[in-house]
Structure 1
Amino acid sequence: MTASSFPFTPSASASSNSSLPFSSTPFSINQNICSFDDTTLRLPLMVSYSLFFVIGLVGNLFALWVFLFLHSSRNSVRVFLINCAVADLVLLACLPFRVLYHINGNKWVLGSLACKLVGNLFYMNMYISILLLGLISLDRYLRLKGKGRARRGMMMRLRGRNWPWSWVACAALWGLSLIAAVPMIATAEDKENSGQCFQYKQRRVAKGKAYFNAMLVLLFWLVFIMLVVSYAKIASQLLRVSRDKPDLPNSHKYQRTAKKSFFVLFLFTLCFGPYHAFRPVYILSQLSGTASCDYLHLVDRTNEVMLLFSAFNSCLDPVMYFLLSGSVRKTALRVLGDRLGNWATSNSSTTEFRRTSVPVALNSQLNTPSGTPRNSICVIKSTLRHTGVTVFPPTDQH
């Protein structure tokens, strides 16, 4: 599953085949003809993955802190977002290994098993994030169309107990992902090289891995179609309510909420679309036995650029959390404001006065309905609950 892009140049082993031109040398003659040591991409990859690691780590840790400690409710969307943040953090934990690999001159010193472990964990958590975004869109759509209890929370009965379906779905997703990753790690490659990692790999012997990657590409496009259909239905429902009920309170927010529904789809397409659109070409090149080094060089470099977009998603996920979830955004800003205010008052000459006056004002605000952090979807739902119009349940929108 792992791949990197390193230009292909003739190696020492190709000296005996000097009669074969580099641009037309078939890959099947000798894999060593195509070298996997690229010095031009080392610095861009090292800088990019370093920035992704720092930005993504700060953003996802902060988001996870908000989800776990600032909200007691565990609705389905929040459960999915918590798991999405965890998946992003595991993916980000793989990036320092890539950075150290490029710093070390594209030399891997931890062995082939560690290389396959890091690479497969990266891809496993990338696809877990993709599937979680698909589950969020499915949950929103089912709640939009559901009635009564289905809108309040869908349950699944297992071992005599009722469990929220979001918990069951996340547990199944993590379990199946781990089961699928084990054979990918244990199965040997066409050519084992303990001194290299993340490089282009031929799949003419280990064809099962290529076919498995092709299945993941198909799975991505199925999730993509589900996202498009779900968010299109959600947006059309909100726009119809805004058009048919213009006199209802907060009706002016429906169009803005509909636009936010497409923000997830936009980022999903931007980060994962290019990689999976090019992925079939990459897989076919791995199975081909007659591709030239020039062609493989182009395929590999293109794949590496597309992979950067996919890794960048782990930095953008926190933006979606706080942009689309009004309650999380307001709570986080309020807590940060309180902490900064407490730090400022503790270092001012009016500390005693502010300690007696500020909490009273804060408490009076927090005890009123206007002081309760609520997102736009919650406002719409609470406002229209008595009108008979079907909209979202009082949960966060992602």
Structure 2
Amino acid sequence: MMNNSTADCNLRADFQIYLFPAVYCLVFVLGLLGNVGALYVFIFKITPRSSSNVFVINLALADTIFLCTLPFLIHYHLNGNNWIFGSPACLVIGTLFYTNIYISVAFLTCICIDRYIATVYPLTYLRLRATRCTLWVSLAVWMVTGAAMLALVFTGPLDSVRPPKNGSHRCYESFSQREWASRMTAYNVSGLVFGSVLPLAIIMVCYPLVARRLAHIRTRTSRRALRIIYSILAITTICFVPYAVVHLLHLLMRHQVIQDCVYANIIYKARRLTMALVSLNSCLDPVLYYFTTSHCKWSFFKRLRLRRTQNVYTINKRN
């Protein structure tokens, strides 16, 4: 059945009331432990810091800020998608949620480019390290994303809280077709192109080239670098690529390029699934942090391994 507008379609994803609280609770607990632990290790335990470690610290900081928004979203979905914290809080929490997606992709891309230059152009990499280029790049990422976030908050492009027909207050939902066709277009298209497509293209192209070169080098350092590459490719493939693809389809649907209600409902449900998937990056990133450390072992795992070794030695000695 074809419709003149997807606004006439009854877009529903009832499973989100159960999906989001379960996923967000898991991400909050595991992500907070992993990211706070990573910040402690990389800031206080690892010196001197490599350029990759600087990017990892920034990524862990961005993830930690994002995780602080999840209790509000968990309450929102457990409360039947009814937002009770007011429109300003909805605008800030929603902005931080979507900003984390793009800032995480940005720092993963920075790590990707850093490893690519270090592997393919080692002399150039040494000169860049001497200029503290990593710190300037990190500052630029925060300034650009911060400016975009402030523009979204202060220009007020959205009446972020809407009371639909059932009386509950929706946060970042139920926008009119007119809003999708006008003022939301610039934010969504810019985020899709500069925050997703271009960075993900760099990651998916550069890392296989680096992995191909490192595969011929049989050293401990190269094996560690390959683990970093594979973990970033896995995080990108699981969390960010599906979100970017469905986001593109969602924009096409909102702009009436896709008008079939069957496809519109599939895209609407897929968008909910990919929003849950993209939040998983905050609890998968600590896997990357683990591989990024110089010896690929954190102190907790060292103590745990030492304790097991001592127990085995004690048992053998008694026998």
Task: Tell me, yes or no, whether TM beats 0.5.
Answer: yes
1:227 is matched by which residue type in structure 2? I
Matched, 1:133 2:108: yes
Aligned residues: 302
Is the Cα contact below 8 Å between 2:239 and 2:278 reproduced in 1? yes
Matched, 1:79 2:47: no
**TM-score w.r.t. length of structure 2:** 0.82
Matched, 1:188 2:157: yes
CA distance in 2: counterparts of 1:177 and 1:319, whole angstroms: 25
CA distance in 2: counterparts of 1:336 and 1:305, whole angstroms: 36
Deviations 1:227-276 (A, max 9, x none): 2332223222223344xxxxxxx47x756754652332122111111111
Is the Cα contact below 8 Å between 1:285 and 1:291 reproduced in 2? yes
How far is the alpha carbon of 1:290 from its aligned partner?
9.1
Larger-gyration structure (1/2): 1
CA distance in 2: counterparts of 1:240 and 1:200, whole angstroms: 53
Q: 2:297 aligns with which of 329, 332, 339?
A: 329
Match for residue 244 of structure 2? Answer: 276
How far is the alpha carbon of 1:68 from its aligned partner?
1.2
2:135 is matched by which residue type in structure 1? W
Match for residue 174 of structure 1? Answer: 142
Match for residue 197 of structure 2? Answer: 221
2:206 is matched by which residue type in structure 1? S
Distance 1:105 1:266, change over 3 A: closer
Distance 1:336 1:299, change over 3 A: same
How far is the alpha carbon of 1:24 from its aligned partner?
6.6
- Structure 1: runs of 5+ lacking an equivalent: 1-22, 157-163, 243-249, 345-398
How far is the alpha carbon of 1:57 from its aligned partner?
0.9
2:157 is matched by which residue type in structure 1? A
How far is the alpha carbon of 1:131 from its aligned partner?
0.6
- Structure 2: runs of 5+ lacking an equivalent: 164-168, 311-319
Q: 1:320 aligns with which of 260, 273, 288?
A: 288
CA distance in 2: counterparts of 1:26 and 1:98, whole angstroms: 34
Matched, 1:111 2:86: yes
CA distance in 2: counterparts of 1:265 and 1:140, whole angstroms: 13
Distance 1:190 1:85, change over 3 A: closer
Match for residue 202 of structure 1? Answer: 176
Match for residue 63 of structure 1? Answer: 38
1:233 is matched by which residue type in structure 2? L
Q: 1:309 aligns with which of 259, 269, 277?
A: 277
**Identical residues among aligned pairs (%):** 27
Q: 1:89 aligns with which of 54, 64, 68?
A: 64
How far is the alpha carbon of 1:202 from its aligned partner?
3.5
How far is the alpha carbon of 1:105 from its aligned partner?
2.1
Deviations 1:164-212 (A, max 9, x none): 1111111111111111112322323378516211425335236232232
Q: By percentage of residues, which structure has more helix? A: 2
Is the Cα contact below 8 Å between 2:53 and 2:292 reproduced in 1? no
SS of 2:84's partner is coil
Q: Which has the higher contact order (CA 8 A, sep 6+)?
A: 2
CA distance in 1: counterparts of 2:304 and 2:39, whole angstroms: 15
Q: What RMSD in Å do the two structures reach over aligned CA positions?
A: 3.2
Moved more, 91-100 or 257-266: 257-266
How far is the alpha carbon of 1:102 from its aligned partner?
1.5
